[in-house]
């Protein structure tokens, strides 16, 4: 098959897939519209094979590159990657209109990794993938599975998990879960995490009350574009970065809608950019706040 390594067929055989399914996967990877480079396609199949066969957990090294490669490809070509995942785990291509990004069997395997993986970096990458599943994750995950999140090294993933727990379990039950986990493991909640947790709990508790008032006000008010833009800018400027994370998690397709606004001169620019170091990350965040404040 043009442009594909012989390793691909070897890994497909190792995964125990039928000849028809293997042929369909190779066809997706070799299709003209596919944007997955052959070398990254090999890593994708290595990851899926190790996950399907249960070998991923026992890999001595290479977990992080395989997970990062999968996440990158998912962002690059979600449709092709999703189709390959379903062929791998279900033996069929995704049906049109399916809401789930990944097949349920694959999500269950990732949940096992999320429970037992000890390397913090790998654990964070796994849960970043799981959190993209939205309602599907809420249906499959046990609340106890996310009790560890207060002690996760990755602050962004940690806050996403806390928000997920508050939203799908409820503030009272989530707090009880965290206390029980801390008591059972003998861990003390770090002071900075305690402050963030209390802030998120207060915000989540007020949200239902405020949502009704604000929704009713918006429906009965006549606001110009400039007025709405000014109110939105002032509101975002008053939030800290953890509250901003929560705001952009409120609607499942928020990122897609932001992409749709790209290039629209009437929209306030959100100057998102990658940053390799902490100082650059702080500068990138400051530039986004500045853009919202100035409306330039």
What are the tens digits of pLDDT across the range 201-242? Answer: 777 766 655 555 455 555 555 555 566 666 667 777 777 777
Give the per-residue pLDDT at 71. 92
Q: What percent of the chain has pLDDT over 70?
A: 67
Q: Which residue has the higher pLDDT, 84 or 278?
A: 84
Mean pLDDT of 161-174: 86
Domain boundary among 140, 163, 188: 140
Mean pLDDT of 272-283: 51
SS3 of residue 294 by DSSP:
helix
- Check whether residue 19 and residue 126 sit in a common domain: yes
- Check whether residue 19 and residue 64 sit in a common domain: yes
Give the per-residue pLDDT at 69. 93
Domain boundary among 189, 218, 247: 218
Give the per-residue pLDDT at 225. 54
pLDDT band for position 258 (50/70/90)?
Answer: very low
- Check whether residue 4 and residue 43 sit in a common domain: yes
Q: Which residue has the higher pLDDT, 191 or 11?
A: 191
Q: Which residue has the higher pLDDT, 101 or 69?
A: 69
Based on the structure, what is the number of domains in the chain?
A: 3
Q: Which residue has the higher pLDDT, 128 or 277?
A: 128
- Check whether residue 50 and residue 97 sit in a common domain: yes
Q: Write the secondary structure of 12-79 as one string of H (helix), E (strand) and C (coil).
A: HHHCCCCHHHHHHHHHHHHCCCCCCCHHHHHHHHHHHHHHHHCCHHHCCCCHHHHHHHHHHHHHHCHH
- Check whether residue 79 and residue 167 sit in a common domain: no
What is the C-alpha separation between 48 and 74, in angstroms, rounded?
13
- Check whether residue 207 and residue 114 sit in a common domain: no
Give the per-residue pLDDT at 2. 45
Give the per-residue pLDDT at 208. 57
- Check whether residue 14 and residue 130 sit in a common domain: yes
Give the per-residue pLDDT at 269. 47
Give the per-residue pLDDT at 210. 54
Give the per-residue pLDDT at 296. 46
Q: What percent of the chain has pLDDT over 90?
A: 17
- Check whether residue 129 and residue 173 sit in a common domain: no
pTM of the full structure: 0.65
Domain boundary among 218, 244, 260: 218
Q: Please check the confidence at residue 272 and state whether its pLDDT lies above 60.
A: no
Give the per-residue pLDDT at 15. 73
Contact 242, 198 (CB under 8 A): no
* Residues in Cβ contact with 25 at an 8 Å cutoff, skipping those fewer than 6 apart: 12, 17, 45, 84, 87, 88
Give the per-residue pLDDT at 244. 73
- Check whether residue 291 and residue 240 sit in a common domain: yes
- Check whether residue 17 and residue 104 sit in a common domain: yes
What is the C-alpha separation between 270 and 292, in angstroms, rounded?
7
> What value does the mean pLDDT of the chain take?
76
Torsion of CA 107, 112, 114, 115, to 10 degrees: 150
Mean pLDDT of 154-167: 89
How many other CB atoms are found less than 10 A from the CB of residue 36?
22
Low-confidence winner among 90-104, 139-153, 169-183 (lowest mean pLDDT):
90-104
Give the per-residue pLDDT at 220. 52
Would you report the helix, strand and coil content of the chain in percent, each value rounded to 5?
Answer: 70, 0, 30
DSSP single-letter state for residue 296: -
pLDDT band for position 126 (50/70/90)?
Answer: very high
Q: Which two tokens stand for residue 246?
A: 């929560």
pLDDT band for position 58 (50/70/90)?
Answer: confident
Give the per-residue pLDDT at 267. 47
- Check whether residue 60 and residue 132 sit in a common domain: yes
- Check whether residue 4 and residue 15 sit in a common domain: yes
**Structural domain of residue 268, as residue ranges?**
222-296
Give the per-residue pLDDT at 124. 93
What is the C-alpha separation between 263 and 252, in angstroms, rounded?
22
Contact 282, 273 (CB under 8 A): no
Give the per-residue pLDDT at 277. 46
């Amino acid at each position: 098959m043009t442009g594909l390594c012989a390793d691909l067929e070897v890994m497909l055989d190792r995964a125990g897939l039928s000849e028809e399914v293997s042929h369909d996967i190779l066809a997706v990877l070799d299709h003209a519209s596919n944007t997955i480079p052959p070398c990254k396609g090999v890593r994708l199949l290595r990851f899926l094979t190790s996950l399907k066969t249960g070998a991923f957990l026992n890999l001595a090294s290479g977990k992080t590159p395989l997970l990062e490669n999968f996440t990158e490809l998912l962002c690059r070509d979600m449709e092709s990657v999703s189709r390959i995942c379903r062929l791998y785990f279900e033996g069929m291509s995704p049906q049109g209109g399916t809401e789930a990004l990944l097949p349920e069997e694959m999500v269950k395997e990732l949940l096992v990794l999320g429970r037992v993986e000890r390397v913090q970096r790998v654990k964070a990458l796994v849960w970043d993938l799981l959190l993209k599943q939205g309602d599907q994750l809420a249906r499959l995950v046990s609340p106890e599975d996310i009790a560890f999140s207060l002690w996760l090294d990755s602050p962004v993933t940690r806050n996403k998990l806390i928000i997920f727990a508050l939203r799908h379990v409820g503030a009272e039950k989530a707090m009880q879960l965290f206390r029980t986990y801390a008591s059972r493991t003998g861990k003390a909640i770090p002071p900075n995490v305690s402050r963030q947790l209390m802030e998120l709990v207060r915000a989540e508790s007020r949200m239902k009350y405020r949502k009704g008032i604000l929704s009713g006000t918006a429906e009965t008010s006549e606001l110009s574009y400039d007025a709405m833009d000014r109110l939105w800018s002032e509101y975002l400027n008053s939030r800290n970065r953890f509250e901003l994370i929560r705001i952009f998690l409120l609607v499942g397709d928020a990122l897609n809608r932001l992409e749709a606004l790209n290039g629209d001169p009437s929209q306030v620019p959100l100057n998102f950019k990658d940053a390799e170091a902490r100082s650059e990350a702080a500068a990138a965040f400051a530039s986004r706040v500045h853009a919202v404040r100035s409306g330039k």
